[in-house]
Each structure stands twice: as C-alpha cells, then as structure tokens.
C-alpha cells in the first residue's frame, strides 16, 4: 500500500494551501536531537506483519513531519505541511523516522519533530485517512485509519476483532434479529473486520442482503467503534 504514495509534489500537496504566516516555526531540530532514527522503530518496521508492535513503536518514537515553502512565497514563514494523495483519492500524512530519510524523499522539505500523537491529530484535522512512514524508501509502511485514530487518541491499538468495543457492537447489532442465531468478530484479510453470522437456512438473496446491510449499519453507528474498524466484511453460515 505504501507504494501508492511513493511520488509527491509538495508544490501542489500542501494543507489546503493554508500558509503559516505569522507563526513561529520550530527549529529544524532541537540541539540534543541528531536527527537519527529510533532503533526500536526501525526494528519494528522490519517486522510489519507484527502490527501491534509496529504501532506501539511508532507511538513511542520521535517523528518528523515535512513542511515546505508555499508556491511563490517570498518569506521564510510562508510554509505549509504536506499531504499526499493516492490515485484512488485517499489522502495521507507523510512522516519520517530520520532527517536523512526525509532528505532522500525531498531535499527541500524542512523537518519538524513531533510526537506520533501530534502527527496523527494533524492527519485527522487535514482529512487524511492514512499515515505513511518514510514514503519512497524501501522500508516505507502505511498505517491504516484505525492505527491513526489510536495514535491520535493516545490509546493502544488492537486489531478490530480483538477490540472489546467492536465485539460488543457486533453482538448488539444482531439483537432482535430472528434469523441470526449467533454473531462473532474474526480477523479478515488486509486488516478487515470479518463478521461471521450464523443464520437460518433458506433465506433468499434479498433477505440476506438486507440483513447484512442492517447489521453493518448498526455496527458502524458509533463513532468510537468506527474509529477501530478499517473495513468490514461478512461471512454467513447456516445455523
């Protein structure tokens, strides 16, 4: 997924064209920070399949977000943060593990050190669906929306099927459904939540489609639940 954001054009990819005129921009790097990558973060990035460990490492790391000069700007204070847009229209906030990684991506970008929570909050405010760490590098990884929200809210990230709030929402969503004998949350492909329903035999296609629609809408009706789900799939079996 990170390959979707391998290219960029900071001249056209800033935060809605809003300059930071009049603001005091932080120094490129504090004196005590040499700009290197957190070894624990790099170790976690090397094991991207261990997603909970990766998000935890990101949460603890010092990150860098790039800001660039606005097109045509004359003053050094006319700077803006950068967002990336994939071909499918999804927006992402880039962040970097080190000054060198950012320099390889764009030598014109100015590094601003931030916490993971601050980066994630900025991404939410900019309407981003994703965070991308070290875009354009061989070790680039993309953090999905549920991970971004967990970082923004400073809480532990878990896969959706392990979240007590999500599991409770799935069980509640089938309450009163006479054709559902049981429901459970399971891991799906590519981070999706798989909702497995045990249903009465003999339902026709229209009845099944309507059942799935109702259950899906109920599960996603709560904002806190939605923040923990990247996507949702259904699997039906006969009760």
Alpha helices in 90-144 (DSSP H): 99-105, 116-125
Per residue in 77-106, pLDDT (tens digit) is 566 778 899 888 899 999 999 999 999 999
> Is the pLDDT score of 22 beyond 60?
no
Residue 209, number of CB atoms within 10 A of its CB:
11
d(CA 57, CA 176): 42
Q: What are phi and psi of 220, to 5 degrees?
A: -90, 5
Average predicted confidence (pLDDT) for the chain: 87
Residue 190 DSSP symbol? G
pLDDT given at position 55: 98
Long-range contacts of 28-35 (CB under 8 A, 24+ apart): 28/110, 28/111, 28/112, 29/99, 29/111, 29/113, 30/113, 33/62, 33/113, 35/64, 35/98, 35/99, 35/100, 35/111
Residue 82 DSSP symbol? B
pLDDT given at position 12: 38
User: Cα 12 from chain centroid?
Assistant: 22
pLDDT given at position 11: 38
Q: Any idea what the Cα angle at residue 74 is, between residues 71 and 78, rounded to 5°?
A: 65
pLDDT given at position 58: 98
pLDDT given at position 57: 98
Per residue in 40-85, pLDDT (tens digit) is 999 999 999 999 999 999 999 999 999 887 665 555 556 677 889 9
Would you identify the CATH topology of the domain 2-152?
Answer: Trna Endonuclease; Chain: A, domain 1 (3.40.1350)
Phi-psi region of 145 (alpha: psi -120 to 50; beta: other; left: phi over 0): alpha
Domain ranges of the chain: 2-152, 160-238
CB 18 within 8 A of CB 9: no
Sequence-distant (6+) residues with CB within 8 A of 41 are 57, 58, 60, 61, 97
pTM of the model as a whole: 0.84
State mean pLDDT over 130-138.
95
Q: Which is the CATH superfamily of the domain at 160-238?
A: ANL, C-terminal domain (3.30.300.30)
Per residue in 143-153, pLDDT (tens digit) is 999 999 999 99
């Amino acid at each position: 997924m990170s390959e979707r954001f391998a290219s960029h054009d900071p001249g056209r990819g800033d935060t809605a064209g809003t300059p930071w005129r009049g603001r005091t921009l932080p120094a490129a790097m504090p004196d005590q920070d040499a700009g290197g990558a957190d070894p624990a973060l790099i170790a976690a990035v090397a094991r991207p399949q261990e997603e909970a460990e990766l998000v935890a490492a990101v949460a603890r790391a010092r990150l860098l977000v790039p800001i660039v000069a606005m097109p045509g700007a004359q003053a050094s204070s006319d700077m803006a943060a950068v967002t990336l847009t994939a071909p499918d229209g999804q927006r992402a906030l880039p962040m970097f593990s080190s000054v060198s990684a950012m320099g390889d991506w764009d030598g014109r970008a100015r590094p601003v050190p931030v916490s993971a929570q601050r980066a994630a909050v900025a991404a939410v405010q900019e309407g981003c669906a994703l965070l991308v760490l070290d875009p354009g590098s061989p070790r680039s990884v993309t953090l999905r929306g549920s991970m971004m929200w967990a970082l923004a809210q400073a809480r532990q990230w878990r896969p959706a099927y392990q979240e007590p709030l999500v599991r409770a929402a799935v069980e509640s969503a089938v309450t009163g459904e006479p054709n559902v004998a049981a429901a459970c949350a399971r891991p799906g492909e590519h981070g999706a939540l798989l909702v497995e329903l045990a249903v009465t035999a003999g339902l026709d296609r229209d009845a099944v489609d309507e059942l799935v629609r109702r259950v899906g809408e109920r599960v996603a009706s709560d904002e806190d639940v939605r923040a923990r789900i990247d996507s949702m799939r259904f699997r039906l079996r006969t009760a």
